[in-house]
Amino acid sequence: MRLVARLSRWLALEGMDVEGLGASEVDRFVRTRRAAGPQLRSIKALQPLLAYLQSRGVVLPSPRAPDDPADELLERYQRYLAIERGLGKATADVYARMVRPFLRHRLSSDGRALDLAGLAATDVVTFVVARCPQLSRGAASLTVTALRSLLTFLHVEGLIAQSLAACVPSVAGRRLAGLPKGLDCDLVQRLLTSCGRDTSNGCRDFAVLTMLVRLGLRAGEVAKLKLDDLDWRTGEILVRGKGNCIEHLPLPADVGEAVAAYLRHGRPRTAQGRTVFVRVRAPHNALTSAGVSQIVAAAGCRTGLGRIHAHRLRHTAASAMLRAGASLPEVGQVLRHRRALTTAIYAKVDREALRTIARPWPGEVA
Residues belonging to the active site = 218, 242, 311, 314, 337, 346
Torsion angles phi and psi, residue 240, rounded to 5: -95, 100
State how far the alpha carbon of 91 is from the alpha carbons of 71, 142, 328, in Å. 17, 11, 27
Q: Rounded CA gap, 220 and 288, in Å?
A: 7
If we measure between CA atoms, which residue out of 298, 313, 339, 352 comes closest to residue 181? 313
Residue 240: which H helix or E strand, with range?
strand 236-240
Q: Rounded CA gap, 156 and 117, in Å?
A: 14
Q: Rounded CA gap, 13 and 279, in Å?
A: 38
Residue 250: which H helix or E strand, with range?
strand 246-250
Q: How many CA atoms lie within 13 A of 185 on its CB side?
A: 4
Bridge partners of residue 247, in order along the sequence = 239
Nearby residues of 88 by Cβ (< 8 Å), 6 or more positions away: 82, 242, 243, 244
Q: In what order do the strands lie in the sheet with 236-240?
A: 230-231, 236-240, 246-250
Torsion angles phi and psi, residue 46, rounded to 5: -90, -10
**CB under 8 A, 24+ apart: contacts of 118-122:** 119/154, 119/160, 119/164, 120/164, 121/164, 121/167
